Amino acid sequence: MNFKRQTTEDPEVNLIPLIDVLLVILIFLMISTTYSKFTELKITLPTADAEKLQSNPQEIVVAVSSGGEYAVNRHILPQRSVAALTQALLDAAKGKPDSMVIISADAQATQQSVVNVMEAARAAGLSRLTFATQKSPAGG
């Protein structure tokens, strides 16, 4: 009987095949990846210079009360007609057609009263309109 002890060799980890496989995967990914550009809209953005800022246009505030009364720049109009409102807007604009009309209507004002202001602004040649609002209370 041979009772000789067998010597065990330490296992050897060969990293060369692992590195070869990783390099092949890396090369495959580099070749198969397409470097295409995304199609974009061709636009030319406007430019502006800080020194060429335009002054704010003249603002004309038209207040409409819940009863249908009008006030142009805090001057109450005696008449409620579109013609009187048109004349008041012309006087307030003073020949500046780029004036901004700010409609500040009461929440209870009729829709017709607001439409009358818009019609008077159109008749006066004022095409820039906006509405004044306020933030609603946090509870509502």
When comparing pLDDT for 41 and 138, which is higher? 138
56-131 is classed in which CATH architecture?
Answer: 2-Layer Sandwich (3.30)
Query: What confidence category does residue 66 fall into, taking pLDDT thresholds of 50, 70 and 90?
Result: confident
pLDDT at 28 over 50: yes
Strand partners, 60: 101
Structure tokens belonging to residue 42: 């061709």
Host H or E run for residue 76: strand 75-76
* Beta carbons of 75 and 102 less than 8 angstroms apart: no
Phi, psi of 90 (to 5 degrees): -65, -40
Structure tokens at 12: 């050897």
Give SS3 for 61.
Answer: strand
Residues in a beta bridge with 18: none
Global pTM value: 0.56
105 forms bridges with which residues in the sheet? 64
- Mean pLDDT, the chain, whole residue set: 80
Q: Which range has the worst mean pLDDT, 27-36, 44-53, 65-74, 85-94?
A: 44-53
Query: What per-residue confidence (pLDDT) applies to 6?
Result: 72
> Rg (Cα) of the chain, in Å, rounded?
39
Instruction: Fill in the amino acid letter for 13.
Output: V
The predicted structure's pLDDT at residue 136: 62
Query: What burial letters (b/e) apply to 84-102, b meaning 16+ CB within 10 Å?
Result: ebbbbbeebbeeeeebbbb
Segment 23-39 shows an average pLDDT of 79
